[in-house]
Chains A and B, each alone.
Chain A
Amino acid sequence: MAGLPLRAEYALVIIGAGPAGMAAAIRACDLGVSSILLIDRERESGGILNQCIHNGFGLHWFKEELTGPEYAERFAAELAKRSITLLTDAFVMEVDSNRRVAVLSAKTGLVVVSATAVILAMGARERTRGAIRIPGDRPSGVLNAGLAQKFVNQLGVLPGRRAVILGSGDIGLIMARRLTLEQVEVEGVYEIMPHANGLNRNIVQCLHDFGIPLHLSTTVVQIHGRDRLEGVTVAPVGPNRVPQLMHARYIACDTLLLSVGLIPENELSRQMGVALDPVTQGPVVDSRMQTSLAGVFACGNVVHIHDLVDFVSAEGTLAGEAAARFIQGESVAPDAIRLRPGAHVRYCVPHSLSPGRTQTVYLRVDQPLQRARLKIGPNEVKVLRYAFPAEMISVRVIPPVLEDVLSSSAETTTVGRTASQVIWDVEVHADE
């Protein structure tokens, strides 16, 4: 087979060359990992950033505002400086429990490579019409916002002329603006929840600035059109999100974009037997981004859905570092503190902490809260003026050293204990 010859063995195989995988590869390489294979199914590295041509990326990581392709390009340039093997247009078919990775590409054929450590960085996919089961016809013109973004930004074609957007996720908001700029009429954005699902800055910059209405507590209840979409029926929802059909109205449109959530792509993880969190739908990870399988790490949207790519890069860096230490045989004490989502906390990542180190905890609340106090274990760690489900909270914590963790936990009655871990509840309380 002509083209790229792969080795039989790599110290590190990273699946997915989006922002998470690229950051992980760079960090592992800088820590001395000599053979790294970075695999992606697309033609180029960068993942979904390549179609996100709007700006707003990099404010945390680079301290400046970049477009998606610019952000990806910076990492790609760093990758190119290092001896990292990047295999694109390639598909990982299977990873077995001995970390043997079966990879398929036209360039290499179907080959199986062994890895000392594996990093999962496959990203996410969008929820579909089928998943939310909108009743009605099945015409063309009903598509996910991400596909519409690809049509407009990468293929130079328009998905339609008059669009309704269901769901106020960030991609939907970004596409509302993008389509408007391309002279597509955007009738409005409809959100079943009583609050928006995207970042506030996107509500302002993508909807308000363009006069696009956002209808909260309203959803699409019927799709009309035999061949091409002709219209949708929308209705407000009452308590328990039940549509109030007496207030339904018809909107003529030829395009319905869905921006109703992202789902981490964990088919490989599941096949390998990695333990998944039912809420995030991503792997359970420790404070070093190691999954339930030793030597298998995960980072980015495959673990939980991020709002900002900057945090994805941070997580990728962490995973790259941990994988390097694992490959170099450094022994790491297992995390002594298990985190458990408590009051108003939908989930938190990582799922455990180690004592005596600075670590970042990401979490989401389950409803909008004002003047909220974030408590992790025995400590109040942050006071938040506002907390929204759509905006991920990140907080740096330094748990005390092991002895103090154990002794403090013994003093509090609310803390349970497993064989090797104490449990810290993560809670957000509104200050009423």
Chain B
Amino acid sequence: METEERNDFDVIIVGAGIVGCALARELSRYQVSVLLLEKNAEVGFGTSKANSGIVHGGHRAKTGSRKGSLEWRGNQAWDQLHRDLGFGFRRCGELTVAFNASELEILNGLLKEGVRKGVPGLELWDQATLRAREPALNPEVIAALYAPTTGVINPYEACFALAESAVANGVILRTQSAVTALERSAGVWCVQAGVGRYTSRYLINAAGLYADEIGRLAGTPLPPIHPRKGEEYLLDKQCAGRVERVIFPCPDPVSKGILVIPTFDGTIMVGPTATPVADKTDLSTTSAGEAAVFAGAQRLVPAINPSSCIAGFAGLRAVVASEDFELTVESERGIVHLVGIQSPGLTAAPAIAMEVVDLLAMCGMSVELKHDFQPALPPSVVFAALSRAEQMRLVAADARFGQVVCRCEQITEGEIAQAIARGARTLDGLKFRTRAGMGRCQGGFCTSRCMALLANAAGSSLEQVTKRGEGSWLVCP
């Protein structure tokens, strides 16, 4: 059905996670043709949708590392993207806590490092300040490092919005297009992806967990990627132990530890674990992981209780031995590999995108800005967030906003229709765009209604609607 469509591009990006989407959107500012390839049914359906959703403050990653420079630059890029694209993002700040003198020593080190990097607003808070401003915190915490630059973000919404903006500015997106063969000849990359065959001058490997495998197809030995699992648990909006800021334990060398995260949508999320696994498709949660997460979270905020859990999930970090981002450019072959982009990869994604554009320019790509680049997307209606008067006006104008589909999150049919119009193709895609089914009943009441609306829009039937793409059927085909 795509027979006569364009198949030759200046740039092909392999992987539409947060990095691929940010890059596609960044490249769409320029007079270059771009194809964004994704193996899943929708963008952001890999590691990008299953992480802590934090824009890190910028004071943590080591100076001198790739992470160190890109984290802070990325952090600073999110405000403008948020204004243009409207995904959920709020700078709520973070507290990294110390339970004893040696941990306090580490916080002092972080503070010094942050100040040296120019991260503004860092403060050490004493017990009295903590009690007043974050009363749910464990009273045994003796001090905490406050960073106002940290934010919470809905990473899946960021992926959807970046991809939508890229497409609006001319990028071609192909989902369900896993890359199976790569060939370079006569200065041109030839890419077999799904049922399509495409060519380009430049190729970007943004395949996340699978970047090493794409490297192999391209004939470039890359460091092997070792998945490291992170389990997260979401708590009911009514749960005890609400916090205003992201709460971190004092960091250890392996990970940032178990956090308590006030998500953009008003839930509390606790996690993640950090467990190496062999299988790149192992997204299972475990009893041990759950126990570790709740123990870790309760140490920070004692009122947190597993009984208020509404959902658990796991994501996989794409870890390489260096524990740093590895941006490898082969300028004569026109390929850039983005390897080991794990935490703080979400934070850094906009900065990585800008860096890759510089690298492509060095490879000879012309970087002429478009005159008609449209930075902003039309805003999405979030009915529950409107004032009563605005809600009344909207329902009067469009009765679909008077029909509540998801009762737990108060999502209207108007919002479902809007999400489908803007690209939702699966039940999960709808859920991550609108929150329908994300609340305390976990879709018990709205699933069939959402399925019917997806089927109607696609002119198909309930049997053809999937949870997250091929194979994940919901009712017997």
Contacts and interface: CB of A to CB of B under 8 A. Distances in A.
Contacts of B472: 139-140, 227-228
B396 A102 contact: no
Given A131-B310, A137-B283, A227-B470, A105 B402 contact: yes
Interface string B457-477: 000001100111111111110
Nearest to A159: B475
B407 A93 contact: no
B304 to A, nearest CB: 14
B65 interface: no
A135 B476 contact: no
A159 B473 CA distance: 9
A430 B96 CA distance: 55
Given A107-B402, A139-B467, A154-B448, 10 more contacts: A104-B391, A106-B395, A110-B388, A125-B445, A130-B309, A133-B233, A133-B285, A133-B306, A136-B284, A159-B475
B286 A130 contact: no
Please classify the interface of chain B as helix (H, G, I), strand (E, B), loop, or mixed, using the class held by over half of its residues.
Answer: mixed
Interface of B: 233-234, 238, 281, 283-287, 289-290, 306-307, 309-313, 388, 391-392, 395-396, 399-400, 402-404, 407-408, 410, 427, 440-445, 447-448, 462-463, 466-476
A160 B476 contact: yes
A157 interface: yes
B285 A136 contact: yes
B475 A151 contact: yes
Contacts of B286: 135
Interface of A: 1, 41, 89, 91, 93, 102, 104-110, 125-126, 128-131, 133, 135-141, 143-144, 146-147, 150-151, 154-155, 157-161, 221-223, 226-228, 267, 270
A50 B391 CA distance: 31
A270 B440 CA distance: 15
B400 A106 contact: yes
B4 to A, nearest CB: 32
Nearest to B389: A110
Nearest to A266: B238
A15 to B, nearest CB: 12
Contact of B404 (A41, A108, A161, A270): A41
A91 B405 CA distance: 9
Contacts of A161: 476
| 7 closest cross-chain pairs (CB), A and B | A227-B471, A106-B402, A140-B467, A130-B311, A91-B404, A106-B399, A157-B475
- Greatest chain A CB density within 10 A among B400, B462, B474 is at B474
A129 B448 CA distance: 18
Contacts of B463: 157
Nearest to B279: A226
A157 B466 CA distance: 14
A147 B402 CA distance: 24
A161 B442 CA distance: 23
24 contacts: A1-B396, A91-B407, A91-B410, A105-B403, A106-B399, A109-B392, A126-B444, A128-B441, A129-B442, A130-B442, A133-B306, A133-B312, A138-B285, A139-B467, A140-B467, A140-B473, A141-B474, A146-B444, A155-B475, A157-B475, A159-B474, A222-B284, A228-B472, A228-B473
